[in-house]
Amino acid sequence: MLVNFYQEKDQGTPLLKCLTDFEINAKLTVLNVNAGFFAKRKLSNLGILTGVKIIKKRAAPLRGPIELIVKGSSLAIGRGLATKIVVKCEEPCTL
């Protein structure tokens, strides 16, 4: 599924990038959530679904949680979980 998504957008398959890889204020689109059943369900209830646009608002220092804006409200997500959220950058942005 993921591969298809990339193939129609760009040529080739770039490396998967997760929420933690992007800089602050990056406008992102969720591609996949690779978390376990419970975390995934909770995130989906809160609106983090494939194709949803999110903004990375800030990251706490020392590998702390990441705050993002989804559907107009802020959500803090632990670093470990954030690495499981695969995203792509909406606009070309430096990495």
Query: Residues 18, 86: contact at Cβ < 8 Å?
Result: yes
Nearer to another protein by Cβ, of 17 and 83: the residue is 83
Give CA separation, 46 vs 27, 40, 76, 83, 86, in Å. 18, 10, 11, 18, 16
Q: Within its chain, how far is the Cα of 76 from the centroid?
A: 12
- Residue 9 binds another protein (CB under 8 A): no
When binding is defined by CB under 8 A, the residue of 13, 25, 53, 64 that contacts another protein is: 64
For another protein, how many residues bind (rule: CB under 8 A)?
36
Nearer to another protein by Cβ, of 29 and 50: the residue is 50
- Residue 13 binds another protein (CB under 8 A): no
Segment 28 to 57, residues that bind another protein, using CB under 8 A: 33, 37-47, 49-52
